[in-house]
Structure 1
Amino acid sequence: MQEVRNQINDGIKLQRQLELIEAIDRLGLASLFHEEIYQVLSVLSLNNYKEVILCGLRSTAICFQLLRRFGFQISEGIFDDFMDGDHNTFLPTLSDDLIGLLSLYNASYMAFPGEKKMESARSFALKNMTRKNMQEILPGSIESAIGHALDLPLHRRMPWMEARMYIDMYELEDGMSPALLHLAKIHFNKVQSIHQKELKHAGSWWTRLDLGKTISFSRDRLMECFFYVVGIVHHPDYGFCREKLTQVGMLIATIDDVYDVYGSLEELELFTQIIDRWDIKGVVELPYYMKICFSALNDTINGVANHLYADDRFNILQWADLFKSFLVEAKWHKKGYIPTLKEYLSNASISAAGHVILFLAYILLKCKITKETLQLLQDFPNIIRLPSLIFRLCNDLATSSNIQVEQERGDVATSVQCYMKETGASEEEARLYISMLISDAWNDMNEEYSTCSKPQFPQRFIDASINLARMASFMYQHGDGFSAPSHQIKGSIKSLLLNSISNNLNERDMQ
């Protein structure tokens, strides 16, 4: 670690310093060099960026991305020197700068609403990186890096999965730091071993609960659920958070299936009423399979409350809202009703369960709990609303490609079908419109995280919030990666949770 620390601080050229910090961040090591990174970025944020701009497009784009990534204020105007006199388009002379274009493309996804220069940056980079004649002369490592970004831009990637993938990519890069690469491998293996123990513990809990025997129609996706939770909170210090979020995720998936697949409308209405009152005595009125669900849910919430010495009612309101939204969708489905898009989104942002996950994450990450903060979280602020919306819309794009299967399973029409019915649009047009809504939500979220109060929302919670949206982008990119994981998702799970990285150095080399 000291060798890498020295590399950051030993007066290296600014361009190299920025590239090193970007690599450290992508390799999942930013928390190990927090002070050094913030010191460099703080100095950069206080000057007029002339030195950065002189280093070229790549350094300028990396600087822009890092400053926004770590919460510093920076304007899109930093790119003015690379644009024409009207600042409408980028200079044609940059069209062959592949490395610069790649960094510009990734930086463009840090855009705020209304930033036209960032829109121009994205279209310019995309157009020139995908030119046919350009593709024919790409070196292998650059071609791979461009393909990686085009598949999913850096800002929307799950950070810990990116760390695993980037270790292999970084090893092939020119100017790679052997000390940094070895540190990344050792760190990854150490964290992975912690996750593996947690996964084993989660498996024991799920086996003891034995819900699959009683509710055989539900999805049994423990591995995918734990993978999703690791994507939201991967830091080794937050094991209890991952344990409880995994339990909650499995219970949500199971109870969602009860509403979608199995329960009668009368049973679902009774279950929802009992949850709304948190009426433990009233559970006797429920059918056996619903009693099991309520009991497991109650035990999980009490377990969190007892561990944190908190009031066990802290999360009840969130659960009541969730199951009310499940009930609305169950009624829509049973009546064959397709709502307007506005009506659908109002309910779907809740039924996506992002607010429950993030509310619970706030508690489990041991953020400061006050009456004011809890009320703010319950009021569905943008820091919860926006990732929940992205979560739902990404899921819709993935599942709407197989409408018949989803409807046979009991799912309500997605945002795609709602928009098609309301506007008469084709499926292709509807999917493009939903993709635009996702892009707009990301821009809003970028601005929200830049301006939200850090004392009120600690960085660890902000990171978990945006990681929820990132996981949705990853899991639903090529289909429903949770309910019907593809070969690609299964491979990602293996590489992240099961397969360690070969490394010749020992753990003592991290000291």
Structure 2
Amino acid sequence: MKIKHNMKRAEQLKEQVRRKLLEATSSSGSSVANMVMLVDTLERLGIDSHFRREIAAMLRRVHRQEQDCPSAAADDGLHITSLRFRLLRQHGFGVTADVFDKFRDNRGSFRASLSSDTRGLLSLYNAAHMAMPGEEALDDAIAFARHHLIQSVEGKLKSSMAEQVSRAFDIPLPRAPKQLETIRYIAEYEHEPAFDGVALELAKLDFELVRSLHLRELKALTIWWKDLYNSVKLSYARDRIVENYFWTCGIYHEEEYSRARIMFTKVFGLMSLMDDTYDAHATLEECHKLNKAIQRWDKSAVSILPEYLHAFYIKLLNNFEELEDCLEPTEKYRMSYAKTGYKQLSEYYLREAQWSSDKYMPSFAEHLDVSVMSSGFPELAPVVLLGVRDGDGAATAEAFGWAAAVPALARASGELARFLNDVASYRTGRSGRDMASTVECYMAERGVGGEEAVAAVAAMAERAWRTINRECVEMGGRADHLLPAARLVVNLTRMLEVIYLGGRDGYTFGADIKDLVTNFFLANPSQLFD
């Protein structure tokens, strides 16, 4: 009864918020400041998905005004200018970093008078992380904002703002998974200057409704995984269904993506079993046999495999058949992309197993060509779309073709996965079976120490993010119909920042993120929000 009551109340609140959005978009008196603050609020509260059309219309109006009448923004302060810049870029609109020039002195440095504007500095810090390649001026913005924000935190900054600053230092807002930000921001929102009680009530109800769905899905997936894991009897493989599903919720948490979450989690889990077989257990000869069977993708190929892989192989094929049954007749073509990706990943795992067996040290460039793909992220790009119902235009046939072709965005995602994983592996230490990482290849090729190599690889990860930013903005200008798909791939990538925060590997070592995952699924909402 409570769920039904909450759903009814949520619908009433949505209509109230929708009216506010329509009024803000249609009224000639609505300021850019009001519009961007409203969009920011809805996104950080996690309820923007209910108002996609209204938000799109509002941001188009903001962008038009920026193009048609740039002088209108001349009086906007640092907070609104930064907020507008970040939101427009995140939604695929082209906007130049020159908008920050008005905050610089005649020497090109940011004005010292800005140092006391904590909210503006935080907005600038987050906005500057939407930088694209070649925008070194935004490096200055990050350094300037960070320096003064550190001083503010060391002073007497209010707890809610101090918490937001601390979070941004860990993961800048454009790179933070939305639902994790929502959990924290709901508890802080009532202290915000533009507090709206209707939006907050809707956010709390929506959070509870969605999380109850997540828990039902997690229960069903846990039953599926236990049956699979106990059947295949691969004791060396990571037992990580909760961490897997947590990652999936970071890609898409809304109710409409229920089928997509379940399908992605299952494919991700099957990839993880294959990864651990190549990486942690199989001999080189067994690796060759496993790859041969996977390329054939036929139950008769089970005879090629050693006995301990028979159950895994049959379960793999059966699960893919069951996933295909979940798709509508017009959607079944999608499975070919998932199968092709799985086969490709097997080929890359085999290449790395051969290198490890031969104790081969590839060049950094050669390593990257293979290990970016073996990260699994380029292959997961089409899988992200696999179960998406095509309501928002994300899962079109063209989008699958785009994702499967390993566009620059997907490759950059793979680079991030590889670099962050390898930095974590270097810090925790690799096993004797592991091939050399990008960190070790860089050390060998450049003749440098470990910390210098780690710093260089971390800088490459930053460049990968800038490539992602560029691709989204350019796509907004030339192929905006692909943006919904691209945003889901970016969401997949954002979760890397959580899993590998501070050099940890929260997927391999689940205890590192146990408290975070427990809080996400089980914390009492009243404790979170009161």
When normalised by structure 1's length, the TM-score is 0.91
Query: 1:121 maps to which residue?
Result: 141
**Is residue 80 from structure 1 mapped to residue 98 from structure 2 by the alignment?**
no
> Are the structure 2 counterparts of residues 134 and 319 from structure 1 closer, same or farther at C-alpha, using a change threshold of 3 Å?
closer
Aligned counterpart for 2:507 among listed residues 482, 487, 493: 482
State the SS of the aligned residue for 2:459. helix
Task: State the identity %.
Answer: 29
Aligned counterpart for 1:178 among listed residues 197, 217, 221: 197
Whole-angstrom CA distance in 2 between matches of 1:193 and 1:216: 32
Whole-angstrom CA distance in 1 between matches of 2:480 and 2:317: 28
Equivalent residues in 2 for 1:5-84 (5 A)?
A: 5-8=18-21, 9=23, 14-47=32-65, 48-84=69-105
Where structure 1 has 5 or more consecutive residues not aligned to the other structure, the ranges are 506-511
> Are the structure 2 counterparts of residues 213 and 34 from structure 1 closer, same or farther at C-alpha, using a change threshold of 3 Å?
closer
Provide, for residues 252-311 of structure 1, a one-character-per-residue CA deviation record: whole Å limited to 9, x for no partner. Answer: 111111111211111110111121232432211212232222222212222233332324
Provide, for residues 16-48 of structure 1, a one-character-per-residue CA deviation record: whole Å limited to 9, x for no partner. Answer: 443232121111111122233223222211123
Query: 1:205 maps to which residue?
Result: 224
Query: 1:320 maps to which residue?
Result: 343
Structure 1 letter corresponding to 2:88? L
Whole-angstrom CA distance in 1 between matches of 2:229 and 2:402: 36
Query: 1:339 maps to which residue?
Result: 362
**Is residue 359 from structure 1 mapped to residue 359 from structure 2 by the alignment?**
no
Provide, for residues 381-424 of structure 1, a one-character-per-residue CA deviation record: whole Å limited to 9, x for no partner. Answer: 12321112111211112221011xx224x322221111111111
Provide, for residues 52-91 of structure 1, a one-character-per-residue CA deviation record: whole Å limited to 9, x for no partner. Answer: 44131101000111111122221111112112346x3212
Query: 2:315 maps to which residue?
Result: 296
> Are the structure 2 counterparts of residues 36 and 500 from structure 1 closer, same or farther at C-alpha, using a change threshold of 3 Å?
farther
Aligned counterpart for 1:387 among listed residues 384, 391, 413: 413
Q: Is the 8 A contact 1:396 1:415 kept in 2?
A: yes
**Is residue 191 from structure 1 mapped to residue 210 from structure 2 by the alignment?**
yes
CA shift for structure 1 position 12: 6.0
> Are the structure 2 counterparts of residues 211 and 419 from structure 1 closer, same or farther at C-alpha, using a change threshold of 3 Å?
farther
Query: 2:235 maps to which residue?
Result: 216
Whole-angstrom CA distance in 1 between matches of 2:262 and 2:309: 23
Provide, for residues 177-196 of structure 1, a one-character-per-residue CA deviation record: whole Å limited to 9, x for no partner. Answer: 22221111111111111111
Query: 1:402 maps to which residue?
Result: 428
* More displaced 10-residue stretch of structure 1: 101-110 or 303-312: 303-312
CA shift for structure 1 position 459: 3.7
Aligned counterpart for 1:305 among listed residues 300, 304, 324: 324
> Are the structure 2 counterparts of residues 199 and 100 from structure 1 closer, same or farther at C-alpha, using a change threshold of 3 Å?
same
CA shift for structure 1 position 213: 6.1
**Is residue 417 from structure 1 mapped to residue 436 from structure 2 by the alignment?**
no
CA shift for structure 1 position 447: 0.8
CA shift for structure 1 position 379: 2.7
Query: 1:509 maps to which residue?
Result: none
State the SS of the aligned residue for 1:470. helix
State the SS of the aligned residue for 1:276. helix
Q: Is the 8 A contact 1:365 1:460 kept in 2?
A: no
**Is residue 463 from structure 1 mapped to residue 487 from structure 2 by the alignment?**
yes
State the SS of the aligned residue for 1:74. coil
Whole-angstrom CA distance in 2 between matches of 1:155 and 1:237: 23
Alignment RMSD: 2.4
Equivalent residues in 2 for 1:143-158 (5 A)?
A: 143-158=162-177
Query: 2:5 maps to which residue?
Result: none
State the SS of the aligned residue for 2:406. coil
Q: Is the 8 A contact 2:232 2:309 kept in 1?
A: no
State the SS of the aligned residue for 1:502. helix
Whole-angstrom CA distance in 1 between matches of 2:300 and 2:227: 24
Query: 2:17 maps to which residue?
Result: 4
Whole-angstrom CA distance in 2 between matches of 1:411 and 1:315: 26
Provide, for residues 429-480 of structure 1, a one-character-per-residue CA deviation record: whole Å limited to 9, x for no partner. Answer: 1111111111111111101011227868644321210012100111111301
Query: 1:265 maps to which residue?
Result: 284
Provide, for residues 352-398 of structure 1, a one-character-per-residue CA deviation record: whole Å limited to 9, x for no partner. Answer: 1112221122232245554x665544331123211121112111122
Query: 1:111 maps to which residue?
Result: 131
Whole-angstrom CA distance in 2 between matches of 1:199 and 1:368: 24
* More displaced 10-residue stretch of structure 1: 174-183 or 469-478: 174-183
